Amino acid sequence: MSAVIAPEDLVRRFSRTAAGRSWLDSLPDRIEQCLRRWGLRLDEDSAGPWSGFGSMVVAVARGTEPLVLKLAYPYPEASSEPVALRLWDGDGAVRLVDDDGDGALLLERLDGGRRLQDVPFPEATAVWGDVVRRLSIPEDDRPAWAALDRIDARAERWSDELPERWTRLDRPFPRWLLEAALDVCATRGVVGRRGGVDVLVHTDLHGMNVLGTFDAASDEGFRAIDPQAAVGEAEFAVAPMLWNRLPELRRGDPSEALLERCHDLASAAGIDPEGAREWAVLREVENALWYAAKPDHEGDLERSLWVASALCSRPLPGLPDVWELKRLG
């Protein structure tokens, strides 16, 4: 059996720390254990392995069934993935076949060559909206829900944390933008929230995390992968589709085009466009503070500030044009 070699980008990312190197060194044994545990073989005729930001994915098969084995670095965020995938049970998201409770997931195989990222707008808007509708299952009495983070509680935490971080980082953007984010915390957090339905939310639902099935003619031709799942308002899911693919915004008035994109995505998913805009402002202000605290993330900081301020219809001066911002993906 051929040894599986980790992708170069994954090796570069995780070779920087002792914990990362230890995880990389563990991968061959982990793969071998999973092959034995689930009666799998490596599918050497398929492409791969592939890497996510914090995981390695290997093509495997059980009998004639094509599957993938995903091995995730033990980030706290990764713990929500098997919980959410079991709750969705293959409706709108990749089907979880099994997991070992220690970061190894056995999943159905999707078509990595068909990403929503490559589907032109507005077709991508309609596909994304359909995926969100299927993923937005209401909270029920299954115990698994208790293991997931609450979005309104997250907003409540941010209402305390964001001003302190903004001050500590020497006020990296104007106060009005911070206050715009805090207004969202006040109206969408636990204390100020008025109504709303809590559903299961994929909080990182951009085009690279939506893949096609191998049955392109199916009514469910695309499914989500890599959820960082939480419980709350479905409108929280729109933001990643706004901060990706910015160079595709029309010329002339890109900030107005971004607002239109926000409205169109929310409408396609059957959710509130204003709520989607508010959550996106808050998420990008929080992202901006995260980037401001990290060296060598100036381009990411500029992108988050452009998106947040454009969604407030007050683009900040001094930022690059949208087509010159650092790209994701």
Q: Do 100 and 30 form a contact (C-beta atoms < 8 A)?
A: no
pLDDT value of position 218? 55
- Give yes or no: residues 108 and 127 share one domain: no
- CATH code for the domain in which residue 14 is found: 3.30.200.20
Same domain membership, residue 218 and residue 152? yes
Q: What is the CATH number of the domain that holds 208?
A: 3.90.1200.10
Give yes or no: residues 159 and 304 share one domain: yes
Write out pLDDT tens, residues 38-65: 999 999 878 778 888 889 999 999 999 9
- For residues 214 and 249, state if they share a domain: yes
Domain end (from 113, 144, 177) = 113
84 and 140 share a domain? no
Rounded distance, CA 17 to CA 153, Å? Answer: 32
pLDDT computed for residue 75 by the predictor = 87
147 and 99 part of one domain: no
Which of 93, 113, 133 is the C-terminal boundary of a domain?
Answer: 113
Which residue range forms the structural domain that includes residue 19?
8-113
**For the packed helices 151-168 and 273-292, what is the interaxial angle rounded to 10 degrees?**
40
Q: Which sequence positions are flagged as catalytic? A: 204
**What is the Cα–Cα distance from 327 to 108, expressed in whole angstroms?**
30
pLDDT grade, residue 5 (50/70/90)? Answer: confident
Strands 229-232 and 149-150: parallel
What digits encode the pLDDT tens for the residues 170-194?
999 999 999 999 999 999 987 666 6
Residue 305: inside a domain: yes
Count of structural domains within the chain: 2
Judgement on whether residues 101 and 185 belong to the same structural domain of the protein: no
- Determine the straight-line distance between the first and last CA of the chain, rounded to whole angstroms: 33
| Average pLDDT of the chain, as a whole number | 93
Position with higher pLDDT, 261 vs 329: 261
Distances (CA, A) of 296 to 14, 302, 318: 17, 12, 19
- Of the listed ranges 98-102, 264-268, 305-309, the least confidently predicted one is 98-102
Domain boundary, last residue among 88, 113, 138:
113
pLDDT at 214: 84
